[in-house]
């Protein structure tokens, strides 16, 4: 063995080995082989200099020994970790752990794991980038300072087990702020007048007595009925027919945030699952040309694409769809993200002739779904725009105007590859000034809706727009908030716990910078400057540390405890002191009032399950009874014959039938209205309380 290549992942080892001969050995570090210790602060500070005290975890000692042994036999050792700051830092730690000078070892980078990319990297070795390493170290130390110093304060003032983090807490504030908006929201009533004209043309009232009618213009039912009465007795003509051609342009290839958002909305994947599947596609799978990585690096905020890949995509478009789908010139995109690293590439397929049709014989179902999404999005990004004809007709009477809108697809363009879900909504051919009958007119009551809770996808879009975190932190941040029980995910909505409100309120009052998105975003930009060798990492740490620690000390002395402690009236069996009921991370428990001097604790038993309530209505599928049940996600209604019958409803079934289709109706009570909805045709009836 003449050469040793050190990568991060064992899967990469298998893939890269297939490209190289017997002169190369490939070994995986399995991620970080050195980190700050878990049991102590791990940062030594002397005269304003921050020295991280890295340790090799026990579970990595065997890996380090293996790499050391292989390194002794190798003439050349290549560091081949991921092409980002984390990868640079891992390479630095590998070199240090095996007793080599990090500045001397050749460093190879590749954004795709293919034979061509690996050989090109070996022919063009670089050196580790110490500016990027310092940027990563700064991030790691900042996160340790915040987590190690602030988390115990929260635990002592609010509840044991709580934690805080630089990116975590500013993200949590966004979720909590939205929930506060929802709780403070007061619905406002408004009405619309919806007309159906001859030939079943749906329309909405847009003008009445010269006044433009917009959402919330008609605020009361009496006014709506008055307008309806007048319009019911008037004659209408076609006042205008407008047809315009519009274009719909393709989106660029994915970057991390847009991949996570689209996979969530299109495939139902969580960001964590998306990144796990993408990691597999990047590191290597079986293809019709052997094992290789079939997408480029998946942690990126860049929209740049290699010229060779664009040329391959254009050739594929020409061969698969024809000349009319191919633009005269290639399309180039640029990221609008703060601090985007344009030297990287967007996420794209590495082998353009490994089409989803071929891939289905090699990939697992989830892998195929995500790969198809990435492949089709990339191909579509280099195709011609789709063209539509937008149609609008104005129907006019003496008092009012109604508008009907339609759309017709003229040329599918990039939709040919990416797909289009919108169906044509065509309006019939009419003539100007012809009379037309208003066959149906309804005055419909509505209420303004509160802002919707964030989903994982919409939260990622939000924190990306604010510059909070980077592609590698989006999914882990959400996972941390769930693991710490700050949020729960129900029906794809992120719902903060009461602890989240308490923590954010305390942080806003005493540590405003930790939850300030601008501060967090500016810190990310500062890390970028360190990576570009335009800022000193020690100065950045000093500037943050001293004022932060003053606030910590002030908080220990002056922040009032918010812990809820209730006497039980019983004495501790160990020491005789009074027992109290406390609230902990996993719910209520009983402990000695002298804790931690006396460590007696007792878990409170789980609450008895609520009795099953049987409703008076029958199951629409089998005729059995319907029962009300409680799950960890809340109340729901199901057939009493479960599991033989799997009927289920999130809303309460009632003994009424739909006037449209005869199906069962359900009922839900909101703050200001009662909504009845058919489980079959979704016909909805809204009534004010």
Q: Which residues are catalytic?
A: 297
Return the percent helix, strand and coil in the chain, to nearest 5.
Answer: 35, 25, 35
Residue 171: closest CA among 463, 526, 507: 463
Both tokens assigned to 254:
């994915």
SS3 322: coil
Give dist(CA 672, CA 95) in Å, integer.
Answer: 65
SS3 372: helix
* φ/ψ bin of 454: left (φ > 0), alpha (ψ from -120 to 50), beta (otherwise): beta
Does residue 138 contact residue 540 with C-beta atoms inside 8 Å? yes
Give dist(CA 14, CA 284) in Å, integer.
Answer: 8
What does the DSSP 8-state code read for residue 352?
A: T
Give dist(CA 225, CA 191) in Å, integer.
Answer: 10
Does residue 303 contact residue 346 with C-beta atoms inside 8 Å? yes
Cα distances from 558 to residues 399, 507, 510, 667, in angstroms, run: 67, 14, 10, 50
Give the residue carrying structure tokens 């393709």. 250
* φ/ψ bin of 216: left (φ > 0), alpha (ψ from -120 to 50), beta (otherwise): left
Task: Give Cα 287 to chain centroid, integer Å.
Answer: 30
**Within 268-384, where are the H helices?**
271-283, 307-321, 356-359, 365-381
Give the residue carrying structure tokens 């000390």. 553
Residue 340: closest CA among 465, 459, 249, 456: 465
Does residue 163 contact residue 145 with C-beta atoms inside 8 Å? no
Residue 310: closest CA among 349, 257, 258, 259: 349
Does residue 128 contact residue 137 with C-beta atoms inside 8 Å? no
Does residue 81 contact residue 91 with C-beta atoms inside 8 Å? yes
Phi, psi of 432 (to 5 degrees): -60, 140
Both tokens assigned to 289:
């040309």
How many CB atoms lie under 10 A from the CB of residue 553? Answer: 11
Q: In the chain, what is the straight-line distance between the N-terminal and C-terminal CA atoms, in Å?
A: 80
């Amino acid at each position: 063995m003449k050469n040793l290549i050190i990568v991060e992942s064992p899967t990469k080892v298998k893939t890269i080995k297939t490209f190289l001969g017997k002169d190369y050995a490939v070994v995986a570090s399995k991620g970080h082989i050195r980190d700050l210790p878990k049991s102590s602060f791990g940062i030594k500070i002397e005269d304003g200099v921050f020295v991280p005290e890295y340790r090799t975890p026990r579970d990595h000692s065997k890996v380090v020994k293996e790499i050391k042994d292989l390194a002794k036999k190798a003439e050349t050792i290549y560091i081949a970790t991921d092409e980002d700051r984390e990868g640079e830092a891992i390479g630095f730690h590998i070199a240090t752990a095996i007793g080599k000078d990090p500045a001397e070892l050749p460093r190879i980078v590749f954004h795709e794991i293919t034979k061509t990319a690996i050989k090109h990297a070996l022919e063009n070795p670089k050196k580790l980038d110490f500016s990027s390493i310092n940027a990563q170290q700064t991030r790691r130390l900042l996160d340790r300072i915040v987590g190690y110093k602030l988390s115990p304060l929260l635990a002592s003032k609010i509840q044991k087990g709580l934690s805080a983090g630089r990116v975590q807490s500013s993200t949590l504030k966004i979720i909590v702020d939205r929930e506060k908006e929802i709780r403070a929201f007061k619905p406002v009533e408004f009405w619309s007048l919806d007309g159906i004209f001859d030939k079943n043309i749906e329309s909405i009232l847009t003008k009445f007595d010269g006044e433009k009618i917009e959402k919330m213009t008609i605020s009361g039912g009496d006014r709506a009925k008055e307008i309806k009465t007048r319009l019911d007795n008037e004659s209408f003509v076609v006042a205008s027919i407008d047809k315009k051609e519009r274009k719909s342009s393709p989106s660029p290839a994915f970057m991390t945030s847009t991949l996570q958002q689209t996979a969530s909305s299109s495939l139902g994947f969580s960001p964590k699952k998306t990144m796990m599947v993408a990691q597999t596609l990047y590191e290597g799978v079986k293809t019709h040309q052997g094992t290789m990585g079939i997408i480029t690096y998946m942690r990126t905020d860049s929209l740049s694409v290699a010229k060779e890949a664009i040329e391959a995509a254009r050739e594929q478009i020409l061969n698969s769809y024809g000349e009319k789908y191919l633009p005269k010139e290639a399309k180039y995109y640029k990221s609008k993200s703060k601090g985007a690293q344009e030297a990287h590439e967007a996420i794209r397929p590495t082998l353009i002739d490994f089409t989803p049709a071929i891939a289905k014989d090699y990939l697992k179902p989830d892998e195929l779904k995500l790969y198809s999404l990435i492949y089709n999005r990339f191909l579509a990004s280099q195709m011609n725009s789709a063209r539509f004809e937008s149609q609008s007709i104005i129907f006019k009477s003496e008092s009012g105007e109604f508008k009907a809108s339609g759309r017709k697809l003229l040329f599918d363009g990039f939709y040919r590859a990416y797909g289009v879900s919108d169906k044509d909504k065509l309006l019939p051919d009419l003539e100007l000034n012809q009379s037309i009958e208003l066959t149906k007119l309804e005055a419909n009551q509505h209420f303004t809706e509160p802002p919707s809770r964030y989903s994982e996808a919409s939260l990622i879009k939000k924190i990306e727009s604010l510059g909070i975190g980077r592609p590698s932190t989006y999914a882990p941040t959400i996972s941390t908030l769930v693991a710490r029980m700050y949020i729960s995910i129900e029906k794809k909505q992120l719902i903060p716990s009461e602890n989240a409100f308490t923590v954010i309120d305390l942080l806003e009052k005493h540590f405003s910078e930790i939850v300030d998105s601008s501060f967090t975003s500016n810190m990310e930009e500062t890390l970028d400057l360190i990576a570009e060798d335009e800022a000193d990492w020690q100065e950045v740490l000093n500037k943050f540390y001293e004022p932060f620690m003053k606030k910590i000390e002030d908080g220990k002395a002056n922040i009032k405890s918010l812990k809820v402690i209730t006497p039980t009236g019983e004495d501790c069996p160990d020491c005789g002191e009074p027992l109290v009921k406390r609230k902990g991370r996993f719910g209520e428990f009983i402990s000695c009032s002298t804790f931690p001097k006396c460590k007696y604790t007792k878990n409170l038993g789980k609450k008895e399950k609520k009795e099953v309530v049987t409703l008076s209505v029958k199951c629409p599928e089998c005729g059995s009874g319907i029962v009300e049940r409680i799950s960890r996600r809340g109340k729901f209604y199901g057939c009493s014959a479960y599991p033989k019958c799997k009927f289920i409803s999130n809303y309460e079934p009632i003994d009424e039938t739909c006037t449209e289709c005869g199906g069962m109706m359900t009922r839900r009570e909101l703050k200001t209205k009662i909504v009845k909805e058919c489980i079959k045709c979704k016909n909805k009836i809204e009534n004010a309380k």
